[in-house]
Amino acid sequence: MTDQPHIHCPLCLWEPKAESRWICAPGEPGSGCRTSWHTFWTAGCCPGCGHFWTMTACHACKKSSPHESWYHFPEKDDIRKDVEEEVGATA
């Protein structure tokens, strides 16, 4: 089983919704095809031109952060604690 990340802006904690969209606009070398898509469904890769975005803009605070910094993986201890609590609740 793979741990799924929690995705949110590393600056303001805004969480993208399923209907959130980004536009491949000129800004990084090789970008600018104008495709609209949900960047976290493709790990930052534009489906229109194949450009991998290194920075992602937040819809709430309007600031850009490295795309990879939006992914927040649960700590192993937190997962273990959640499982122990869940097992204890059903025992």
Q: Residue 85 has what pLDDT? A: 64
Q: What is the pLDDT of residue 52?
A: 96
Q: What is the DSSP string of 8-62?
A: --TTT-----TT--EE--SSSTT-----EE-GGGTTTB-TTT-PBPSEEE-TTT-
What pTM does this model have? 0.75
Each residue's pLDDT, cut to its tens digit, for the chain (91 residues) gives 467 889 999 999 999 999 999 999 998 888 999 999 999 999 999 999 999 999 999 999 999 999 999 999 987 555 555 556 666 655 5
